[in-house]
Structure 1
Amino acid sequence: MSSLLYSLGRWAFRARGIVVGAWILILALVGGGALLFNQGLDNSISIPGTESQKALDSLSTTFPQVSGASAQLVVVAPEGDSVNDDAVEQVILDSVDTLNDIEGIANAVSPFDENIDGAISDNERAAIISIQLEGSQYEVTEATKDALKDEADALAKALPDGSESALGGQLFSTGFPTLSATELIGVGVALLVLILTFGSFLAAGMPLITALLGVGISVAFIFIATAFGSITSTTPMLALMLGLAVGIDYALFIISRHQEQLRDGMDAEESAARSVATAGSAVIFAGLTVIIALVGLGVAGIPFLTIMGVSAAAGVAVAVIISITLIPAFLGFAGERLRPKSAKPSRKAKRAHAAAQAQVEAQAGSAGSIEPLASTHRPNRFFSGWVKAATRFPIVTILGVVAILGLVSAPALGLRLALPDAGGLPEDEPARVTYDLISDNFGEGFNGPLIVTGSIVTSTDPLGLMDDLKSEIEKLDGVEAVPLATPNETADTGIVQVIPTGGPDSVATKDLVAEIRSMHDYFLEEYDVDLSVTGFTAVGIDVSDKLGGALLPFGVIVVGLSLILLTMVFRSIWVPIKATLGYLLSVCAAFGVVALVFEHGWFADALNITREGPVISFMPIILMGVLFGLAMDYEVFLVARMREDYVHSGKAKESVTTGFIGSAKVVTAAAIIMFAVFAAFVPEGDTNIKPIALGLAVGVFVDAFIVRMTLVPAVLALLGEKAWWIPKWLDRVLPSFDVEGEGVAKEIELRNWPTAGSTDIATAEGLTLDAGATRLYENVSFSLPQDGTLVVSAGRDTSVTALLLTLSGRMLSDSGILKVAGYVASVRAASVRSRVAFVSLSEASDPVRDLTDALREKPRMIALDGIDQVTDAVTRRNIYDALVSARSAAMKGDSTLAIAVGTASPTTLADAIPGVETAVELNLTDSELAHEAEVSA
C-alpha cells in the first residue's frame, strides 16, 4: 500500500491543477444535488420490533386518531383567576374550534370536555389543549406547524392580561441543530495550533481548507440521501464535528512529515510522495479503524443509528481520500515555500563551540580541527523531560494513571440514558416553556403520558371493559392520573392514557412501564386483553434499553478488532493488549465526566447545560466507536515511531524515549485540535450533540495525554524487549499492514539495484524460504533477461513450485531480494502478479487451454510448473507452438516475454521449450537447497 500511495502522492504533486479542479467540481456537483434532492431532516426515532413500536404501528391502522404525532397548548390564567372564568374559557374554546379546522390536525381536545380528566390543574389556573396530528412527527408538514404556531400566537393575544400560554409537546420536543459562532472557536484554536506547529500560515491553512471541503462534501451527501429515507438532524452535525476534527488531523500528519523531510534537505516532490506513502499509510489505517467502528454501530440493529454511523463513516472516508490526494497537490503549489529555515544555534551552543575550538587550537596549534557550528534540529526539551518523568519509575506511573482514571470513571456507573425531550431545550424555547408550565401546574408526568392499548374485539361490553382497565391501572404505584380510557369507533381497539408521577426520563416512569408490562399475563387471563405499552415516552424507554443492550456486543467487537489490527501493525502481543486496555480507560473516564456534568451538575452552568438528567441514549455507543478510531490514531503515530527506532537500534528502552520525542509534537498538536473542535460544540451545541461532544473532548484529552503519552511509555519501558515479542507462527499467519511505509523505503533503497537501467525481467539475490522444518530453497541468486528462459529443477517438486510461485508474486521468500518487472516482489506482490502468469501444467486437465488463457492476458513473463510431466507428444508440441507464437506477438508489439519453467529433468526440454539451449539453469538439488533444515519454533 505504501508503494501505491507513493505513486499517488507523486502524481498528485505533478497533476495538482487537475486534482484541485476535480475536488472543486465534486463539491459543486454534490452541493447542487443537495439543493435539488433535499427532503429535510427527521427527528423522529423508532426501533422496529420493540413492543412500543409494534403497538404504535398497529394503532396507525386501528386507532389512527391517537397514533400520530401530538402537541400541547397550555394556558395559565392570571394570578387569582381561573381558566373557568368566561374571559379565559371562551378564548380556549374558540381556539379549539380553530385548531380542529387546520389541515393535518386529527383532533384538538378541549380541556373542558366531560370525557377528559386531568386537563385542568387542581388550582384551576392552568389548562391543556391536547392536539393530535395526522401522521408521524416526520410527516407533519411545515404548513401545519406554521398554522399551529399562528393560532398559538392568536390565543396569546386574545387572553386577558397577565395570562401565559405556550405551544409544545412531542411535535416540538427536539430542535434542529444549528451552527453558532462558538463552534468557530474550535476552528480558531486549530488554526493557532497549526501555525505554531508548522511555523507557516501557508502550511496551517491547508488542513483547514481540506477539512472544510471534506465536511461540505459529506454533509451534502447526507442531504442527498434524505431523498431515499428519513435521516435524523443529529446525523449531519455528527458528520460535521467528526469530519472537521479528523480532516484537520489527517492533513496535519502528512504535512508535518513533509516539513520534517524538507528540513533534512529532501526534494519537494520526493518529499510529498514519501509523506503520502508513510504518514498517508498511517492515515488510511487510522481512518479505517474509525470507519469500521462507525459502521459497526449497525450491530445494535437500530436503523437510525446505523444510518448515523454510515453517514459519519462516509465523512471520515472523504477526509482520508482528500488527505492523500488534495494535500500533495497543495504541497505541489507550495513548492519550496514550506521548507523550514535553518534554526540558528543558541548562544550557549556558540559559547561551547568557541571554548572547544580554543582548546583544540591551544593543544594542536592549528585551527579548523572542529567542524563549523551546524544549525541542527534539536529535540524538544519539554517532551524529553515528559518521557523521562513517565519512564523513570514505570510502575509508579502505571499505578498512578490507573488509580486516577479509575476514580474519574466511577460516576459512569450511575449514567442514565434516555431520548431527548423538550426539557433539555434552552429555557427560552417555546417548547421548553410549555414543558416547564405543565410541570409546574400539573406535574412532570403530564409531559410524558403513556398509552396502554390492546384489542378488545372479543368484549361484549367495551365501555365497561375500558372502565375496568382504568381502575386497575389507577391502583398502580407511580400513576398520577388516567385521564382517558376509551374504545375506538369500531370497538375493536381500546386505549388507556396513563399519566405517570415522574417525568418522561425518570426512573419512576421507567419502572411504571416495566410494571404494566409485567401484568400482561394478568390482563390477558382476567380480561382477555393483550395489552401493550406505547407512546413517545415508552418508545424512548425501549430505544434506551435496546441501545444499552447493544453496548456489550459492540464493545466486544471494538476490543477484538483493536487487538487484531494492532497485532498486525506492531507485530507484538503486549502492545495491542496495552493499547486496548488504555482505550477502555479512556472510554470509562469520558463516561465518568459526562455523568458528573449531566447527572450531577458539575460545571453545568459554565457549559450551558440547561437541565440535569439522563444523556441521549446513543451517546455511549457513538462515543465508543469514534473514540476507538481516534485512540488508534494516537497509538499508531506514537508507538510506530518507537517500533521503528527499536527495529533500527535494537535498544528497547532507548527507543521508547527517542520514538516519543520524534512523534510527541505532532500527536500533541493533533490532540489539541481534536479537543478544541469537540469542546466548541458543548456550550452552544444541540441538546443531542452536547454529551457526545463533551465525551469526545474528554476522551481525546485523556487518551492522548494521559494514556498514550504517559501510560504507554511507562508500560513499554517496564516491558523492555518483551514489548515487541510475538510467536513466530502468529507472525507468519497475520497479514502485514505497512503503516510506517517500510515498503516504499525498501523500494527507494533498491531503486537502482542491481544496476541503474537494468533490462532484466527478474533479478534475485539470496532468496531463502522455509516451510516448517523443511527448507524449500536457500540462497538462490540469478538474473533473467526480459526475453530469456529460466529452467528451475530439483529432486523435489515442492521446491520448484515454491520458487516459481515466489517468482510470480504468489509467495514471499523469508529473506533475500527479488525484483520482477522493476518491482520489489516483497513490497509490490500485486503488481508482480499482474505481470507474471503462473500455470501448473501437471494439475491442468487441459494444459494447452490453460496456457493459452494465461498468454491471452499478455504477461511479461510466464511461469510453467511441471512441464516435464506433460508426456503426450502432441500436447508438448502445442505448448511449444503457443509459446513461440506468444513470443513472436510480443516482439511485434515492442514487448518481450520471458519464460520460467519447473522440471525434474532439464536436459529433456530442448524439444519442448523455445530457447532452452540458452536458458538460465537453476538446479536446486545440485546446490543442496532442498535439504531438511533445523528450524526453531
Structure 2
Amino acid sequence: MSTFLYRLGKSAYSKPWYFLGTWIVILGVIGALLGVNGIQSSSEMKIEGTESQKVLDMLAEELPAAAGGQASVAFTAPEGERLDTPERSALLLKAINEVYSMDYVINPAELAAQAAAQAAGQGAATDPSAAAGQGAAADPSAAAGQSAAADPSAAAGQDDAAAQAAAAQAAAAAQAASAAPYGPLLVDGAMVPGVMLSSDGNIALFQFQFTVQQTSLPSEVPDNVIEAVTEVEQAGSGITAIPSDSLKSTPSIGSTEAIGVAVAAVVLFITLGSVVAAGLPLITALLGVGISVGGAFALGSVIQMNDITPILAVMIGLAVGIDYSLFIVNRQRRLILDEKLNAREAASRAVGTAGSAVFFAGLTVIIALCGMLVIGMEFLSTMALVAAVSVLINVLLALTLLPALLGLVGEKICTAKARSKSNAAGNKEHHGFSHRWANATVKFRWPIIILVVLVLGTAAIPVTKMELGIPSGASANLDTPARQSYDVISEGFGEGFNGPLLLVAQPNNPSDKISMETLGKLTQELQMHDNVTLVSPLGVNETGNIAIISLIPKTGPTDTETRDLVQDLRDPSYSLASDNDITLGVTGFTAINIDMSSKLSDAFPIYIGIIVVLSLIILLLVFRSIIVPIKATVGFILSILATFGVTTAVYQWGWLHSLFGFDTGGPLLSFMPILVTGILYGLAMDYQVFLVSSMREAYVHGRHGNDSIVHGYDLASRVVLAAGIIMVSVFAGFIFAPDAMIKQIGFALAFGILIDAFIIRMTLVPAVMAVFGDKAWWLPKWLDRLLPNLDVEGDKLIAKLNAENGVSGHKK
C-alpha cells in the first residue's frame, strides 16, 4: 500500500496539472448536470415496512386523496377579543376561500356537493373522494357540527340501517362537540368548512388537506398558502395568522458553519506555520464538499434526497477533508524540517506513509456510514451513501490533488523562518507540552484510567432516560412560527390537535363490508377511549371494504400516552377491533414518527455489531495487534455513551438551553443515535489510526516500551490536537442552525469528538498502552502469517528507498 501511494504521490507532485485538470473537469461536469437538472430535495422520510407506511401506501393506491398531506393555520385575535365579529369573519372567509381555490388543495364544500349529487343520482353509500377529503384528516368542526344532513347516505334516504348509522355518527359527533371547548366558525349563520373556533372566540384553527403529500407539492404551493392566510393581518384587523410547521421551508444550516471554517483556518495556520500550508487543506476540503454535495444534487432526479442529506455531507466533508490533508501536509513538513528531505521526496513519502493512514481511516468512516444500509430506511440509506461518497472523494483528493498542489507550491511549503528554526535546533529533542503530557499519562496510568471511566460513566447516566422521536413544535424556539402554532392550537383546542391520527378500518373477512352502522358504532366506541378528544368518521369507500376515521388524541404527538394509544388501536386483541371483526390500521405523521423510533431502536444493536466487527478487522490489519483494536472499540463505547448522556441532558432535559440557543427540551431526533454513532465511530478510528500508527511506527523502527508510546505520541499529538479542534469547530458551527434536528446532530458530533479526541485518544489511549507495553503489539504467529502486511508505517517503503537511492532523496 505505502509503495503504491508513494509512486502516486510522486507522480502527482511531478505532473500536477494532469491531476488538477482531472478534478476541474469532474467539477465542471457536475456543474453542467446541476444546470440541466437543477437542485432537488425533499423532506420525505419514508419508512418502508412499518405499519403506518403500509397503511399510507394502501391509501395512496385505493384512495389517493386520503393519503394527501395535511396542514393548518391558527388565527388569533388580541387578548379578550373575538374572531367571529363580522369584519374579522369576512377577512378569514376570504383567505380560506382563496386557499381552497388553489391547485393541490382539497375543497370540502365542493366534495360534499359532488357526494350529495352522486348519492341522490345513484343511491350510493359514500363518495370515496368525499370520504377521503372532507377537510384535513378531516374537518373535526364539520364532523362535530354538520350532523346527518351532511352525510351523503342520509341525504340519499337509504334504508333504515344506513339511517340508524348516520344517526349514530351524528350522535357521536354531537357528544364530542358538546364536551369540547370549541365549535364551528359561523359566517352569516353558515359554517366555514375546515375551521374551528375556540370557546372564547379568541382562536380559530383552519385545517385543510392537500391532494398529495407535502414532499410532492411544488415549492410555490406552501408559499402561496402562507401568502393568502397572512393577508388577514392588514392594518386594524388585529388578526395574527400562524402557519403550522408542515408549511415551513426546508431545513437550513444558516451561516454559523462559516465560524467553524474560520476557526479551522486559524488552527491550520498555527499548526502548519504558514498561510500557504494552511490554505491547502481548506482548498481540498471545500472542493471535496463541492463535488460530493453538488454531485448528489445533480442526481436528484434519479435518487430522492432528504433535505438533511446535503447538510450532513457538508458537515462530514469539511471535517474529514481538512483533517486528512492536514495529516499529510504535516508529515511532509516534518520530513523536510527534521530529516532534511527536499519537498518532492517529502511529499511522496508523506503520501506513502501518512496517506496509508488516511486511506484506512477513511475506510473505517465509510464502513461505519454504509452500515446504516442494513436498517432498511431509504432516506437514511441515501443519507449514509452521500456522506460516505463525500468521505471517499476527500480521501481521493488528499491522495491525488493535494500532492499536485504541493507540487505547485514546491519548497515554499516551509517558510524560511521555520527552516532556520529547525536548523538552529539541530537534532536536539524539544520536550514540549505534548511530551510532558505523554510522560504524565504513562506515569499515572492507573489513576487516569479510573478517573476517565468514572467521569464518562457519570456523564452517561442520562442515557437511561433518553426518549426518541421527531422534534415537534413543542420543542421549537418560542419565537418561531412552529412553536407559536403549537402553543396556540394547544391553548385553544388541546395538544392532540397538533398530531391527529388517521385510522383505516378493514373487515377481517375480505368478503365482508363495513356498513355505515358499523362505522357509527366504531366512532362511538373510539370516542370513549380515555386518551381520545375527538373522533370524526370520514366515510366508507365505494366498495365498502375501507372505512376512514380521523382521531384526535388528548396528548401531544411526542407524548408516551399517544404512543400507547397507537399500540392499543393496532392490537388485534383490542376489544373494539375484535368485537367488530375488523382490523384497525393507524397512520399519519404522528404514527409514522412512532414507528420510525421503534424500528430504529430494533435495528441499533444489529448496526453496532456490523460496524464494530468490520472495523475491528480493518484495525487488526492496520496495527497487526489483537489488543489495540479491542482497546479502541472499548474507548469508543465509553465516549459514545457519555455523548448521548450529555446530549440527553441538554436537549431533552433542557440543561444549559440558553447557552446553546434553544428554549425548550424535547425528545431527541429518532435517527440521531444511529447517525451519530456511525459518524463518530469512523472519526474516532481516524484519531486512533493517526495517533497509534505513530506509536506503531516508533516501535517498528526500534523504540520499545514506554519510549515508543511517548515518542509516537509526541510526533502525532500535535496533528491530532489540531484535527480534533477543527472537527469540533466545524460541527459546533451547526449547533446554532435554525433547525432543531441540525442543532442536535451538530451538538452530538461536536461533543462526541471533544470527548473522544481529547479524553479517550489523547489521554486514555497512552495510559492503556503503557499498561500493556510492548505486549500491545502481540499477534499470534499463525494469524501473523495469515494477515497481509499493509505496511501502513512505511517500513518496507523506507527500506526499499534506502536500498535503491541511498541518500539522494536528502539532496536539497
Q: TM over 0.5, yes or no?
A: yes
Q: Which residue of 2 aligns with 1:49?
A: 49
User: What is the CA–CA distance in structure 1 between the aligned matches of 2:434 and 2:530, rounded to whole Å?
Assistant: 60
Q: Which residue of 2 aligns with 1:381?
A: 432
Q: Which residue of 2 aligns with 1:15?
A: 15
1:750 match: secondary structure: helix
Give the CA deviation at 1:341.
Answer: 4.3
With 392-401 and 203-212 compared, the bigger mean Cα shift is at 392-401
Q: Which residue of 2 aligns with 1:258?
A: 332
1:128 match: secondary structure: strand
Q: How does 1:636-675 map to 2 (within 5 A)?
A: 636-649=689-702, 651-675=704-728
1:166–1:433 CA contact under 8 A, matched in 2: yes
- Change over 3 Å in CA distance of 1:416–1:696 after alignment to 2: same
With 312-321 and 372-381 compared, the bigger mean Cα shift is at 372-381
1:169–1:434 CA contact under 8 A, matched in 2: yes
1:486 match: secondary structure: strand
Q: Which residue of 2 aligns with 1:170?
A: 246
Give the CA deviation at 1:431.
Answer: 3.7
Q: Select which of 427, 440, 446 maps to 1:395.
A: 446
**1:75 and 2:51 equivalent?**
no
Q: Select which of 348, 351, 356 maps to 1:281.
A: 356
Q: Which residue of 1 aligns with 2:124?
A: none
Give the CA deviation at 1:39.
Answer: 5.1
With 407-416 and 743-752 compared, the bigger mean Cα shift is at 743-752
- Change over 3 Å in CA distance of 1:571–1:20 after alignment to 2: same
- Change over 3 Å in CA distance of 1:418–1:112 after alignment to 2: closer
User: What is the CA–CA distance in structure 2 between the aligned matches of 1:627 and 1:461, rounded to whole Å?
Assistant: 52
Give the CA deviation at 1:484.
Answer: 4.3
2:547 match: secondary structure: strand
Give the CA deviation at 1:329.
Answer: 1.0
Q: Select which of 726, 751, 771 maps to 2:804.
A: 751
With 733-742 and 247-256 compared, the bigger mean Cα shift is at 733-742
Residue identity opposite 1:451 in structure 2: L
Taking only aligned residues, the RMSD between alpha carbons, in angstroms, comes to 2.5
User: What is the CA–CA distance in structure 2 between the aligned matches of 1:752 and 1:663, rounded to whole Å?
Assistant: 27
**1:625 and 2:678 equivalent?**
yes
1:78–1:161 CA contact under 8 A, matched in 2: no
User: What is the CA–CA distance in structure 2 between the aligned matches of 1:690 and 1:44, rounded to whole Å?
Assistant: 19
Q: Which residue of 2 aligns with 1:334?
A: 409
Larger Rg: 1
2:81–2:202 CA contact under 8 A, matched in 1: yes
1:138 match: secondary structure: helix
User: What is the CA–CA distance in structure 1 between the aligned matches of 2:604 and 2:229, rounded to whole Å?
Assistant: 42
Q: Select which of 392, 397, 416 maps to 1:322.
A: 397
1:70–1:171 CA contact under 8 A, matched in 2: no
Q: Which residue of 2 aligns with 1:887?
A: none
Residue identity opposite 2:349 in structure 1: R
With 571-580 and 416-425 compared, the bigger mean Cα shift is at 416-425
Q: Select which of 359, 365, 380 maps to 1:305.
A: 380
Residue identity opposite 1:244 in structure 2: L
1:409–1:589 CA contact under 8 A, matched in 2: yes
Q: Select which of 348, 356, 366 maps to 1:291.
A: 366
Give the CA deviation at 1:87.
Answer: 3.4
2:448–2:767 CA contact under 8 A, matched in 1: yes
Q: Which residue of 1 aligns with 2:65?
A: 65
- Change over 3 Å in CA distance of 1:72–1:520 after alignment to 2: farther
Q: Which residue of 2 aligns with 1:243?
A: 317
1:157 match: secondary structure: coil
Q: Select which of 292, 307, 322 maps to 1:218.
A: 292
Q: Select which of 772, 779, 802 maps to 1:719.
A: 772
2:208 match: secondary structure: strand
2:804 match: secondary structure: coil
Q: Which residue of 1 aligns with 2:731?
A: 678
**1:132 and 2:209 equivalent?**
yes
Q: How does 1:673-822 map to 2 (within 5 A)?
A: 673-751=726-804
Q: How does 1:882-897 map to 2 (within 5 A)?
A: none
2:274–2:414 CA contact under 8 A, matched in 1: no
1:295 match: secondary structure: helix
Q: Which residue of 2 aligns with 1:469?
A: 522
2:209 match: secondary structure: strand
2:381 match: secondary structure: helix
Q: How does 1:439-588 map to 2 (within 5 A)?
A: 439-455=490-506, 462-484=515-537, 486-488=539-541, 491-519=544-572, 522-588=575-641
2:701 match: secondary structure: helix
Q: Which residue of 1 aligns with 2:283?
A: 209
Q: Residues 445-486 of structure 1, C-alpha deviation per residue, up to 9 Å, x if partnerless?
A: 111111111225866773322222122222223223324453
Q: Residues 227-264 of structure 1, C-alpha deviation per residue, up to 9 Å, x if partnerless?
A: 11321000000000100000000000000000001102
Q: Which residue of 1 aligns with 2:185?
A: none
Q: Give the number of the structure whose residues are more often helix, by fraction.
A: 2
**1:98 and 2:174 equivalent?**
no
Give the CA deviation at 1:582.
Answer: 0.4
User: What is the CA–CA distance in structure 2 between the aligned matches of 1:208 and 1:408, rounded to whole Å?
Assistant: 34
Give the CA deviation at 1:422.
Answer: 3.8
Q: Residues 86-115 of structure 1, C-alpha deviation per residue, up to 9 Å, x if partnerless?
A: 334444344333322211112354775324
User: What is the CA–CA distance in structure 2 between the aligned matches of 1:202 and 1:436, rounded to whole Å?
Assistant: 53
Q: Which residue of 2 aligns with 1:914?
A: none
Q: Which residue of 2 aligns with 1:412?
A: 463
User: What is the CA–CA distance in structure 2 between the aligned matches of 1:89 and 1:490, rounded to whole Å?
Assistant: 40
1:111–1:127 CA contact under 8 A, matched in 2: no
Q: Residues 547-586 of structure 1, C-alpha deviation per residue, up to 9 Å, x if partnerless?
A: 1111101111122123222121111111111111001111
Q: Which residue of 1 aligns with 2:156?
A: none
Give the CA deviation at 1:186.
Answer: 0.6
Q: Which residue of 1 aligns with 2:229?
A: 152
Which consecutive residues of structure 2, in runs of 5 or more, have no partner in the other structure? 109-134, 147-172, 183-195
User: What is the CA–CA distance in structure 2 between the aligned matches of 1:327 and 1:671, rounded to whole Å?
Assistant: 21
Residue identity opposite 1:277 in structure 2: G
Residue identity opposite 1:50 in structure 2: T
Residue identity opposite 1:412 in structure 2: V
How many residue pairs get aligned? The number is 728
Structure of greater relative contact order (alpha carbons < 8 Å, 6+ residues apart): 2
Residue identity opposite 1:658 in structure 2: H
2:251 match: secondary structure: coil
1:708 match: secondary structure: helix
- Change over 3 Å in CA distance of 1:488–1:425 after alignment to 2: farther
- Change over 3 Å in CA distance of 1:737–1:422 after alignment to 2: farther
Give the CA deviation at 1:75.
Answer: 1.9
Residue identity opposite 2:304 in structure 1: S
1:386 match: secondary structure: helix
1:513–1:538 CA contact under 8 A, matched in 2: yes
1:111–1:128 CA contact under 8 A, matched in 2: no
User: What is the CA–CA distance in structure 2 between the aligned matches of 1:396 and 1:447, rounded to whole Å?
Assistant: 52
2:556 match: secondary structure: coil
Q: Which residue of 2 aligns with 1:794?
A: none
2:687–2:761 CA contact under 8 A, matched in 1: yes
User: What is the CA–CA distance in structure 1 between the aligned matches of 2:540 and 2:75, rounded to whole Å?
Assistant: 28
- Change over 3 Å in CA distance of 1:379–1:32 after alignment to 2: farther
User: What is the CA–CA distance in structure 2 between the aligned matches of 1:597 and 1:472, rounded to whole Å?
Assistant: 41
Give the CA deviation at 1:33.
Answer: 1.1
- Change over 3 Å in CA distance of 1:275–1:439 after alignment to 2: same
User: What is the CA–CA distance in structure 2 between the aligned matches of 1:520 and 1:129, rounded to whole Å?
Assistant: 36
User: What is the CA–CA distance in structure 1 between the aligned matches of 2:234 and 2:425, rounded to whole Å?
Assistant: 81
Residue identity opposite 1:155 in structure 2: V
Give the CA deviation at 1:55.
Answer: 0.6
- Change over 3 Å in CA distance of 1:727–1:154 after alignment to 2: same
Give the CA deviation at 1:535.
Answer: 0.6
2:735–2:744 CA contact under 8 A, matched in 1: yes
Give the CA deviation at 1:296.
Answer: 1.0
- Change over 3 Å in CA distance of 1:171–1:50 after alignment to 2: farther
**1:28 and 2:28 equivalent?**
yes
Give the CA deviation at 1:283.
Answer: 0.6
TM-score when normalising by structure 1: 0.74
Which consecutive residues of structure 1, in runs of 5 or more, have no partner in the other structure? 350-371, 757-937
TM-score when normalising by structure 2: 0.85
User: What is the CA–CA distance in structure 1 between the aligned matches of 2:482 and 2:625, rounded to whole Å?
Assistant: 55
Q: Select which of 292, 304, 307 maps to 1:233.
A: 307
With 46-55 and 99-108 compared, the bigger mean Cα shift is at 99-108
Give the CA deviation at 1:400.
Answer: 0.8
1:219 match: secondary structure: helix
User: What is the CA–CA distance in structure 2 between the aligned matches of 1:105 and 1:489, rounded to whole Å?
Assistant: 22
